[in-house]
Structure 1
Amino acid sequence: MINYQFAKPHHPLLLPYVEQFVQLDGSGTFNKSMYSRMSTSMLLDFDQGTFYDGQPMKTRLLGVTEKTIHFSSISQHPVLIDKFVVMFTAYGLSVFTKVPMQELSNGVIEGTAIFGNSFQQLYEQLQPLPFAARVSQFERFLLQRFTAPHTSHQLIFNLADDIKNDASKNPFLQLKNLPLSERQLERNFKRYIGMSVGRFLRVSRFEKAQQLLAAQTGRRLTDIAHLAGYFDQAHFISDFKRLTGVSPKRFRICSPAPRMMSV
């Protein structure tokens, strides 16, 4: 059985940028498909028993994407599980690295490609530690690399939060309240979020729909579509099939009980 532990950041400076820390341990097989998402996650695979899209890696950054990523256990038999996940907010990683977020989207990248050899050292330091100590150590690592966002960057962060909170709104209508042109908005959104405003809006609606399908099994698809911010049920079904390969109805049947994490 695989056990999950969750922790919010302890340092208040990290709260807008780190969603949560997650520990997976126990024994079992780890087979999962992860669909489109609007935030990045850093996975440290201490058991090194999992393939990510067919390739093993010790550290993986899972960037914002519309692509489905497949996880599969190397062994077909239950093995010891030990994985540590750092889930960032949509723009969270951008304050800890100078790498543009669009360079990290639509792919799975080694942690050392972002933070250099220091991330390999962090991996080795975290491996023998219990969950609480891993959280504290990773927080120190992030705080050493934190750069406070400029006012113009914060405008992008606020817009991303607004879209996440209500994906039914047209974000371009808010341009009149921002000291940015549409072109500047798109360029900065890709730089700090990793995708265009339109794609982020689409993934935001999709994530909301996933949560509703798993949590509210008695709701009609029409209601789910409306609550997730889709214009109509046909648009909802079409978008869902494009991003997952299955209909919302089929996804609901196959979906496991909801968890507080996306990987």
Structure 2
Amino acid sequence: MYFLLPLGEIDYHHSNKPAMFNYHFAKPGHPLLAPYVDYFVQLDGAGTLFKSIYSRLNTSFLLDFDQGTFYDGQPVKTGLLGVKEKMIRFSPATCRSTLADKFFVSFTPYGLSVFTKMPMQELSNGMVAGEDIFGSSLHQLYDQLQPLSFSARVTLFETFLLRRFTAPHASHQLIFDLADDIKNDVQGSPFLQLKALPLSERQIERNFKRYIGTSISRFLRVARFEKAKQLIAGQPSRRLTDVAHLAGYFDQSHFISDFKRLTGVSPKNFRECCSSH
């Protein structure tokens, strides 16, 4: 069984043992947070969970209340994953059925940068403990969130973020807009858009890494992959050559090689996997 989050960013599945999971989803309620927080998700219930996080543009923040998630052999209580180009797998400590309780916050590509001074490239392709981003106050928040319902958790976490919000400067907003343009128009050339910005190419690239977490070219690569993945999952009967074109790939060979590098399987096999679940 798979529970697909928006854009299929995280796949949850279990062993052959019976499992019953509840999936909760919410967009941010406060309008100030809308450009920076994409959504909140909670997964709870009984079963054995395994997780695969594909390459993606958003930053994921996990609060694991059942403390049954392990990354590189270490338990994950709170953690953040930034923009990345590789698939990351998580697994439980054992294959025994447990009571799951996991709360996720998905930030937009630049969203986390308005709540912390940490450079976003420090989150690239790895996991950082939540305390390293938000400080020791996260321990108290974790304890406050644990007994609450999903809606109450969302409200409290929004309050937590609003206390840390810093409005972006005009130069930062230019980078945010550039990231949105690339994400929304994967067939275009971002390097043509750079000429219209009142910054040097070097400044743009440096600030892009600082507030987005990766280079412009890598961001475009993941944006095209996300678009292709969305098309395959949402329109399984569409020809893969059309998917490659709509996702902005130069040709079919680039599409296949990028997909294999980012998922470990070909687009055809990925589509078959989505169709079977």
- Report the TM-score range of the alignment, normalised by the length of the smaller protein: over 0.9
Q: How far is 1:176 from its partner?
A: 2.1
Among 5, 9, 33, the residue aligned to 1:14: 33
Secondary structure of the corresponding residue to residue 183 of structure 1: helix
Matching of residue 230 in structure 1 with residue 249 in structure 2: yes
Number of residue pairs aligned between Structure 1 and Structure 2 = 258
Alignment correspondent of 2:93: 74
Whole-angstrom CA distance in 2 between matches of 1:128 and 1:203: 36
Could you tell me whether the CA contact under 8 Å between 1:6 and 1:21 is conserved in 2?
yes
> Tell me, which stretches of 5 or more residues in structure 1 are unaligned?
259-263
Whole-angstrom CA distance in 2 between matches of 1:257 and 1:10: 35
Whole-angstrom CA distance in 2 between matches of 1:225 and 1:237: 9
Q: How far is 1:62 from its partner?
A: 1.3
Code of the residue aligned with 1:154 in structure 2: it is Q
Code of the residue aligned with 1:199 in structure 2: it is R
Give the RMSD, CA atoms, in angstroms: 1.3
Q: How far is 1:199 from its partner?
A: 0.2
Alignment correspondent of 2:236: 217
Q: How far is 1:211 from its partner?
A: 1.3
Q: How far is 1:78 from its partner?
A: 2.1
Matching of residue 57 in structure 1 with residue 53 in structure 2: no
Q: What pairs up with 1:182-193 in 2 under 5 angstroms?
A: 182-193=201-212
Q: What pairs up with 1:79-90 in 2 under 5 angstroms?
A: 79-90=98-109
Q: What pairs up with 1:147-158 in 2 under 5 angstroms?
A: 147-158=166-177
Q: How far is 1:224 from its partner?
A: 0.7
Alignment correspondent of 1:99: 118
Could you tell me whether the CA contact under 8 Å between 2:61 and 2:78 is conserved in 1?
yes
Alignment correspondent of 1:261: none
Could you tell me whether the CA contact under 8 Å between 2:236 and 2:275 is conserved in 1?
no
Whole-angstrom CA distance in 1 between matches of 2:111 and 2:72: 25
Q: Would the alpha carbon gap of residues 228 and 257 (structure 1) be closer, same or farther in structure 2, given more than 3 Å must change?
A: farther
Matching of residue 120 in structure 1 with residue 139 in structure 2: yes
Could you tell me whether the CA contact under 8 Å between 2:83 and 2:213 is conserved in 1?
yes
Whole-angstrom CA distance in 2 between matches of 1:83 and 1:257: 25
Matching of residue 253 in structure 1 with residue 253 in structure 2: no
> Tell me, which stretches of 5 or more residues in structure 2 are unaligned?
1-19
Among 180, 187, 201, the residue aligned to 1:168: 187
Whole-angstrom CA distance in 1 between matches of 2:275 and 2:115: 33
Alignment correspondent of 1:30: 49
Could you tell me whether the CA contact under 8 Å between 1:33 and 1:70 is conserved in 2?
yes
Code of the residue aligned with 1:155 in structure 2: it is L
Code of the residue aligned with 2:254 in structure 1: it is H
Alignment correspondent of 1:159: 178
What's the % identity of the aligned pairs?
A: 73
Could you tell me whether the CA contact under 8 Å between 1:172 and 1:182 is conserved in 2?
no
Secondary structure of the corresponding residue to residue 95 of structure 2: coil
Q: How far is 1:232 from its partner?
A: 1.4
Could you tell me whether the CA contact under 8 Å between 1:53 and 1:69 is conserved in 2?
no
Code of the residue aligned with 1:172 in structure 2: it is F
